Structure 1
């Protein structure tokens, strides 16, 4: 057994999980007290500096105390040897093991976080095989319990989900304002902090959407929209495929204000958009802006509205045509 693996073996034995072969290897190690003592002391010397010094001293003291009694504990009978091992290992490793499991950084306990920065998109396959496409300026989080009794993820922003069917483990998307529950289905969830509305659109299957004490069941081509200010949850019929155009680089808007459109374009293209005219903010637009870049999107908007724009590096300023200097 290598020095790298001995602590893992000790921990397995203490938990009662070691195999017969591993137990024999542990007995062999214990049979060489000097090596055992040396290995533990080296481990402690190299341990994380955040370990309390008093804990280290207690462990060193236990090592020295126990190794002076080696002959009275050792026996050729393996059962007696294991009794000795239990007596020896428990006091010597207790402090270290408590630290190992409760105080050292728990990397495996940390949630998994996937972020699509502004101007980017991300795609991820979850542990259950579900596929998720994450839109610009969005973050998806799930923890190590994801594939347990339920499959929960936490979303800030927008994502499209194709969920692997599992009737025993519901798939739940949590956002700040709405919760969407499904068994096996395809749907889009949008819940940006800066938007006045949060929504879910169903493409396949059925989902339950909950928000602020309200609840609705969606069928295919239905949308649930939660108004954050009014605290209302309403459902309506839509062409669901339009709402996942962003996956392919296209940008679709459904009767959204220029204020909302500006925030969306800012996220998608990682630019700053300013309004020179406040008259533009409440104006609305429905349609697809294509996938040819920010200039093409602004050209379409300017052709269908009283808006024109100017670009200064990564800053875009929107003007009302009535304010043009002739």
Structure 2
């Protein structure tokens, strides 16, 4: 019998630019959706006792169940260990916000220094608050529609909304009219409709003007 040649696992990296999304299937059939400005590093196939990937940004994972080989998502602050599950991770490097939302299954979250360790139940999310890991129920399920190209705001502040627009549309928003930032807004938009569609819809409810500059940062000034 000819010997089967074992292929070395090769590390691969995918980067999703601002304003885009990507969907991929890993070698174990795990499905991953990646949001804007996100980098995922993963092996061409999983070797050894676990399945480990590294995430910088936001990803939604539907992990193939394999109790003998835990699936680990490494992020800057925490590692998320799972057996088979559906969950969303928001963990951009250099950004203090870390959030993991569990939709099905169970995940364990462990900080890089192994000081924090938390087992998350379905329909709960774990997030950092002043460096501490806390949990609360998931209330905004529409949020996860980002993987289908929908941006959903559910009683979010306009300040938060502008932050999301910067990420999803790769624009630089300068806010001169700060009076509107704490007003709240709910609504759904298709990413493909573009940032100006969102701003024009927002203007129907909130009083502001905007000016679009033609510079390399695609600056938008909110007046």
TM-score w.r.t. the length of structure 1 is: 0.58
Q: Which whole-Å CA distance do the structure 1 matches of 2:185 and 2:108 have between them?
A: 27
Q: Which whole-Å CA distance do the structure 1 matches of 2:128 and 2:166 have between them?
A: 23
What's the offset of the Cα at 1:280?
5.3
What's the offset of the Cα at 1:113?
0.2
- Residue number among 74, 78, 89 corresponding to 1:174 in the alignment: 74
The DSSP-based 3-state class of the residue aligned with 2:210 is: strand
**Structure 2 residues without counterparts, runs of 5 or longer:** none
Aligned: 1:224 with 2:123: no
What's the offset of the Cα at 1:126?
0.5
Residue in structure 1 matched with residue 222 of structure 2 by the alignment: 318
The DSSP-based 3-state class of the residue aligned with 2:46 is: coil
Contact 2:177 2:208 in 1 (8 A): no
Which runs of structure 2 are paired with 1:184-263 in the superposition (5 Å)? 184-193=84-93, 195-211=95-111, 213-227=115-129, 230-239=130-139, 241-253=141-153, 258-263=158-163
Number of aligned residue pairs: 213
Residue in structure 2 matched with residue 142 of structure 1 by the alignment: 42
Flag the 1:193–1:270 CA change in 2: closer, same or farther, 3 A.
same
Which has the bigger relative contact order, CA under 8 A and spacing at least 6? Answer: 2
Flag the 1:130–1:226 CA change in 2: closer, same or farther, 3 A.
same
Which runs of structure 2 are paired with 1:29-48 in the superposition (5 Å)? none
Residues 128-165 of structure 1 show CA distances to partners (whole Å, capped at 9, x for unaligned) of 11000000110100235734311111001101000000
Flag the 1:286–1:112 CA change in 2: closer, same or farther, 3 A.
farther
TM-score w.r.t. the length of structure 2 is: 0.82
The DSSP-based 3-state class of the residue aligned with 1:251 is: strand
Q: Which whole-Å CA distance do the structure 1 matches of 2:45 and 2:15 have between them?
A: 20
Flag the 1:144–1:125 CA change in 2: closer, same or farther, 3 A.
closer
Flag the 1:183–1:307 CA change in 2: closer, same or farther, 3 A.
farther
Residues 212-266 of structure 1 show CA distances to partners (whole Å, capped at 9, x for unaligned) of 6222222221110013xx2111100114632311011111346655554333212
Residues 255-278 of structure 1 show CA distances to partners (whole Å, capped at 9, x for unaligned) of 655554333212211222222245
Q: Which whole-Å CA distance do the structure 2 matches of 1:146 and 1:263 have between them?
A: 36
Larger C-alpha radius of gyration, 1 or 2?
1
The DSSP-based 3-state class of the residue aligned with 1:243 is: helix
Q: Which whole-Å CA distance do the structure 1 matches of 2:94 and 2:204 have between them?
A: 27
- Larger helix proportion of the pair: 1
What's the offset of the Cα at 1:307?
4.1
Contact 1:131 1:161 in 2 (8 A): yes
The DSSP-based 3-state class of the residue aligned with 2:147 is: helix
Give me the CA root mean square deviation.
2.8
Residue in structure 1 matched with residue 186 of structure 2 by the alignment: 287
Aligned: 1:116 with 2:16: yes
